[in-house]
Amino acid sequence: MPSSRTPDLIELRSLAAAAEAGTLGRAALRLNISQPALTKRLQSLEQLVGMKLLERSHRGVTLTPAGRQLYEHARPLLADADALDAVIGQLRRRAAPVRLAASHSAAEAFVAAAMGSHDGGEEVTTVELVTANSMVVRAMVADGRADVGVAASRPTATPNPSIRVETLADDEIVCAVPRGHLWAQRARISRDEFLRTPMVVRDPSSNARWTVDSALRREGIEQAPPLAQAPTPAAAQQLALARNAPLLLSVNVLGEFFVPVAVDGLRFPRRYELVLPAAGEPPLDVRDVVGRLRAAVEGWGAR
């Protein structure tokens, strides 16, 4: 008698991942889902088949004879599905661009360059890039206006159930000065000197501003009122050069005319994060864009 339904590809891919990874934890990481979600998929498949497909132990998981038989039949089916996904991805690349939203600093630091460069080999996914502050980037992915985003981290923000985030690269907001400024010859300045000096800063809605302000609040200290506020990193640098003034900005967007200056007892670290829809697996064209973004920041740890 035929079964009440046919296994779906998600269930079969879950079985294959568990068999090949050897543990449910590694399989869940491979599939970009939580381990409980993977367990639920596997249990659903076992209920459909009517027998155990995996033997579980403290060492991991192995296929039962029934699981092995199903896995061997599923492998070519999954390979065909991947090939079909590739065809669909090629069609989508021709039909519509991937909508990428990025924070202003991420766009200036690496996103724009990553999307504009390729090796001239395979057909490159077309990308429509929109820049906004990090909060807007998250909202755009959450409500479907963007397929993928790059935003700066904000650990205290309320999690949005419509999105998931993955760490992309480390970043830091630093104090920097034009090369003609008196501080340019110094390796560092005192905390008091930093706090009493008016500086060029980003606008209040930017993550760079939030990162600095929240760190100072944790220390119970305040900075002098801003000398000027800028809507983008490029505008901030132009203002600082025009006034020969210090500025607070991502270390990864500083131009050649600026020198970072350390501040005694203060640092302002943050991260760049990939922002993806919470539901489903990213399609092939989005995965291509994500791969290009990861490649663009691959060497940052060695800086």
4: CB partners within 8 A, 6+ apart: 48
Tell me the domains of the chain and their CATH numbers. 9-94 (1.10.10.10), 97-168+271-302 (3.40.190.10), 170-269 (3.40.190.290)
Q: Are strands 258-263 and 163-178 parallel, antiparallel or unpaired?
A: antiparallel
Q: Are strands 127-132 and 98-103 parallel, antiparallel or unpaired?
A: parallel
Amino acid 302: pLDDT: 42
Amino acid 119: pLDDT: 56
Q: Which residues of the chain have pLDDT under 70?
A: 1-4, 89-90, 92-95, 117-123, 301-303
Amino acid 88: pLDDT: 77
Amino acid 155: pLDDT: 80
Amino acid 301: pLDDT: 52
pLDDT tens, position by position, 43-101: 999 999 999 999 999 889 999 999 999 999 999 999 998 888 877 766 765 667 899 99
The end-to-end CA distance of the chain, in Å, is 63
Beta bridge partners of 230: 202
Q: Which residue has the tokens 């906004």?
A: 132
Among 197, 153, 195, 174, CA closest to 258:
174
Amino acid 110: pLDDT: 93
